[in-house]
Chains A and B, each alone.
Chain A
């Protein structure tokens, strides 16, 4: 892969190593808070939640996005990458930052959950670790932007390949959205964690975190969507329905992902109703690129199905090659995206949100969308890349399909009851619940079922790692190089608006400023919003 195989493999292996440790830890949390287990020391539970969230929200998807970004860069531009030394520096920064942060959490020095929650305060090493990992990922952003620009300079008349266009859009989105959490750590938390100051503005900290908290999900999502556009049509034996529509979808993700983060703060007292409503409206807009993507993907699959001899209104579905991991994973992903999207509609609804805010519904929702719909595509991408990276065919194809089905089944068993107990009023993030209380007793059976789903997911995660190890150590073979799907009508020339990102990035920044400017500026005028910090350890 243009000499980038080791780099890409390192990212994917590191990501799946983190994953293999943290999925069992998640299942353990579901077990110990369920009625199937006695109550445990609550601090251990929250410590585990902090480790699970930090690893799987900040480290795992970032490594996948970075590794896949390098693969896209090599395959779609079709020439060797430059700056591979910088890429390794970036990799080790992410790994080093992750190691510092997770070690600090494991030692019990930062049981603050991955969302930080000041005025709670943990050891400065935890926040520094996260910050170093984020800075490492910014080096990757620089590399993606630089490859994008150099390629455009060398081929000014050609369209930038769709996969590279989307990867660079995702990198720019990440650079901008990670500034929120970066500013929260640097300006609010670290001065307190080091003991230089002893008060903090929790309302402002929550607002800055919301800057990152929603668009980060689209940063996680973009590699999966790139897979839909450039790997799925090919795997299904067809062509991409529309290259232009893909660009429009990714551009919409770029501009609409940012000005919506306050929908996480609908129930917060420090934000006025007007900006909450505005963010709800933009959250509705961000559904548009997903709906466009679903159309393009289904149309591409229909083409593939009909090319394979499928007839009639639905016959093309049966004619698709369901034994191919990428096709199967994409369909399961779209099903989970549909259910999770429906539950997300409740969350984003300005008023209806208060029926579910901070209940288990929310945890059920994001596990289904992220852990289900997005992460199953990370598996599919790994299965697609592995033979090209290792020079060995994918081993154990039956286990691959079993792995995808168990992830899908386990995720539904875990998250559907999880949603349900949320509607029944169970708050999220508690180490245990008193199911002997008659008001909570009806939730017990559903929580137990959900915990069993967690163990199905552990089996699936182990299958994934097993298949990847077996494939990596199998016999070598001649593997055809990876090619991305062609569109039915590949664009020969594109209007500049669909072939560049500068103006769209400026629009993203302008919309963010419009939607965050006043809510941020109001903190200049509050006179009593700063409060003392709270740390469990003596400083």
Chain B
């Protein structure tokens, strides 16, 4: 073995190529099969005028049921709270989160799910997901946003679709905060 280093090295090079190729294959399979893509919509918005007009004015925040039956949740992440601070969504339904920031960089993740995105002021972060079953989740800010960061937690309440329709369908923009 010691007198034939080239053969041993070549064999190892094949092993390395195989390992790397396998990793790529798993990544591509997961990305395609589960439609698992990181949030990448590259959509800008004027962070200084969010409160004045457009999609993120206060009356438009919270959960909206759109005509195709799916829901859109619009959230503002700001020092040091999410608005709304308690989000309500139906289970077994397509959910689109649209989140932006008027001040500094924040982030949000929903515990026990793959929902995880940065929130960069000037851009709208969009995450699409689907909750399989009813339950409560925590939604902390996951990026340092100055000295009150540790207090920035929201909650996500996933309801049975029938219960969601009964309790919230009359409201224009639903939330459990208040």
The CA-CA distance from A536 to B149 in the complex, in Å, is 14
> B144 contacts A268, CB within 8 Å?
no
A269 with B104: CB separation less than 8 A: no
Q: By the criterion CB–CB under 8 Å, are A429 and B114 in contact?
A: no
B45 touches A354 (CB 8 A): no
Distance, CA A489 to CA B44, complexed state (A): 59
- The reply to whether A529 and B107 contact each other, CB–CB distance below 8 Å, is no
Once the chains bind, are A351 and B37 in contact (CB under 8 Å)?
yes
Residues of chain B with a CB closer than 8 A to A288's CB: 16, 20
A527, B150: Cβ atoms closer than 8 Å: no
Does B52 have its Cβ within 8 Å of any Cβ on chain A? no
Q: In the complex, what's the smallest C-beta–C-beta distance from A455 to chain B, in angstroms? A: 23
Residues on A with beta carbons closer than 8 Å to the beta carbon of B116: 267, 354-355, 357-358
B134 CB to nearest chain A CB (Å)? 15
Q: Are A429 and B144 in contact (CB under 8 A)?
A: yes
Query: In the assembled complex, how far is the CB of residue B12 from the closest CB belonging to chain A, in whole angstroms?
Result: 5
Q: Is A273 in the interface zone, CB < 8 Å from B?
A: yes
A5 interface contact, C-beta 8 A: no
Which of B5, B36, B104, B117 is the one whose CB lies under 8 Å from A117?
B104
A272 near B38 (CB under 8 angstroms)? no
A472 at the binding interface (Cβ < 8 Å): no
Residue positions of B touching A, CB distance < 8 A = 2, 5, 8-9, 12-13, 15-16, 19-20, 23-24, 26-27, 30-31, 34, 36-48, 79, 103-105, 107, 109, 111-112, 114-126, 136, 138, 140-150
Measured in the bound complex, the distance between the Cα atoms of B26 and A318 in whole Å is: 37
Question: Quick check: is A516 within 8 A (CB to CB) of the other chain?
Answer: no
* Known interface pairs A242-B5, A245-B9, A354-B115; A528-B45 also in contact (CB < 8 Å): yes
- Is A532 positioned at the interface, with any CB of B under 8 Å from its CB? yes
A400-443 vs B, Cβ < 8 Å mask (1 yes, 0 no): 00000000000000000000000011011111110001011000
Partner of B104 from the list A291, A359, A530, A534 (CB cut-off 8 Å) is: A534
- A345 to chain B: which residues have CB within 8 Å? 23
Within the complex, the shortest CB–CB distance from A8 to chain B, in Å, comes to: 33
Interface: A506 (CB within 8 A)? no
Check: A106 CB closer than 8 A to any chain B CB.
no
A326 to B19, CA, bound (A): 29
Q: Are A271 and B42 in contact (CB under 8 A)?
A: yes
CB-defined contacts of B118 to chain A, threshold 8 Å: 265, 267-269, 358
Q: Are B30 and A349 in contact (CB under 8 A)?
A: yes
Q: Is the CB of A358 within 8 A of B125?
A: no
CB of B120, distance to nearest CB on chain A (Å): 5
Q: A430 and B150 in contact (CB under 8 A), knowing A292-B16, A528-B44, A531-B121?
A: yes
Across the interface, do B24 and A269 meet the contact criterion of CB distance under 8 Å?
no
Q: Which of chain A's residues have a CB closer than 8 A to the CB of B24?
A: 281, 284
Interface: A195 (CB within 8 A): no
Selected contact of B36 from candidates A115, A269, A351, CB within 8 Å: A351
| Closest 7 pairs between A and B when the two form their complex, measured CB to CB | A425-B111, A351-B36, A358-B142, A427-B142, A273-B40, A430-B150, A529-B122
Q: What are 22 A-B interface contacts by the 8 Å CB criterion? A: A117-B143, A117-B144, A120-B145, A201-B122, A267-B107, A268-B120, A269-B40, A269-B120, A284-B24, A299-B5, A349-B23, A351-B34, A351-B36, A354-B38, A428-B142, A430-B149, A431-B147, A439-B136, A489-B5, A528-B44, A528-B45, A531-B47
Within 8 A of B (CB), among A241-273: 241-242, 245, 265-273
Task: Report how far A369 CA is from B10 CA in the complex, Å.
Answer: 28
Judge whether B105 and A350 touch: CB under 8 Å.
no
User: How many whole Å from A459's CB to the nearest CB in chain B?
Assistant: 29
Chain A residue nearest in CB terms to B141: A427
Collect the chain B residues with CB atoms within 8 Å of residue A206's CB.
Answer: 105, 120
Complex Cα distance, B37 from A282, in Å, reads 18
Asked whether B38 lies within 8 Å of A350 as measured between CB atoms, the reply is yes
* CB within 8 Å for A532 and B48 given contacts A202-B120, A271-B42: yes
Contact of B38 among A203, A351, A440, A526 (CB under 8 A): A351
0 or 1 for each of A216-254: is its CB under 8 Å from B? (1 = yes): 000000000000000000000000011001000000000
Assess whether B42 is in contact with A439, with CB atoms less than 8 Å apart. Answer: no
* Contacting residue for A425 out of B23, B40, B112, CB 8 A: B112
A269-B43, A351-B27, A354-B36 known; A119+B150 contact, CB < 8 A: no
> Quick check: is A353 within 8 A (CB to CB) of the other chain?
yes
For residue B13, give the distance in angstroms from its CB to the closest CB of chain A. Answer: 8
B101: shortest Cβ distance to chain A, in Å? 9
* B147 engages A42 (CB within 8 Å): yes
**Known contacts A111-B147, A245-B9: A526-B122 contact under CB 8 Å:** yes
Q: B146–A269 contact, CB under 8 A?
A: no
What B residues does A489 contact at CB under 8 A?
5
A46 sits at the interface (CB 8 A):
yes
CB interface residues, A 184-220, toward B, < 8 Å: 201-203, 206
Whether the pair A270, B42 counts as a contact (CB closer than 8 A) is: yes
Alpha-carbon separation in the docked complex, A432 to B148 (Å): 11
Q: A202-B105, A430-B150, A528-B122 are in contact. Are A273 and B37 (CB under 8 A)?
A: yes
Decide: A528 and B46 in contact? CB cutoff 8 A.
yes
Contacts of A265 in B (CB 8 A): 118
A335-355 CB contacts (< 8 Å) to partner B = 345, 349-355
Could you tell me if B117 and A431 are in contact, using CB atoms closer than 8 angstroms?
Answer: no
Q: Is the CB of B111 within 8 A of A284?
A: no
Give residues of chain A (476-532) contacting chain B, Cβ–Cβ below 8 Å.
488-489, 522, 526-532
Give B122 Cβ to nearest chain A Cβ, in Å: 4
> With the chains together, A206 CA to B118 CA distance in Å?
11
Residues of chain A within 8 A (CB-CB) of B150 are 42, 430-433
| A373 interface residue (CB < 8 Å to B) | no
Q: Which residues of A contact B125 (CB under 8 A)?
A: 269
Complex-state Cα separation, A250 to B26, whole angstroms: 27
- Name the residue on A nearest B47 (C-beta): A531
Q: Which residue of A lies closest to B38 (CB)?
A: A266
Whether A531 contacts B38 in the complex (CB less than 8 A), given A350-B31, A359-B142, comes out as: no
Additional 20 contacts, C-beta under 8 A, given A355-B116, A534-B146? A42-B147, A46-B144, A117-B105, A119-B103, A203-B123, A266-B38, A267-B116, A269-B117, A270-B120, A287-B19, A303-B2, A349-B30, A350-B38, A355-B114, A359-B142, A425-B111, A429-B143, A429-B149, A488-B5, A527-B44
Nearest chain B CB to A102's CB is how many angstroms away? Answer: 19
Q: Is the CB of B105 within 8 A of A42?
A: no
Minimum CB–CB distance from A491 to chain B (whole Å) comes to 12
Q: Which residue of A lies closest to B125 (CB)?
A: A269
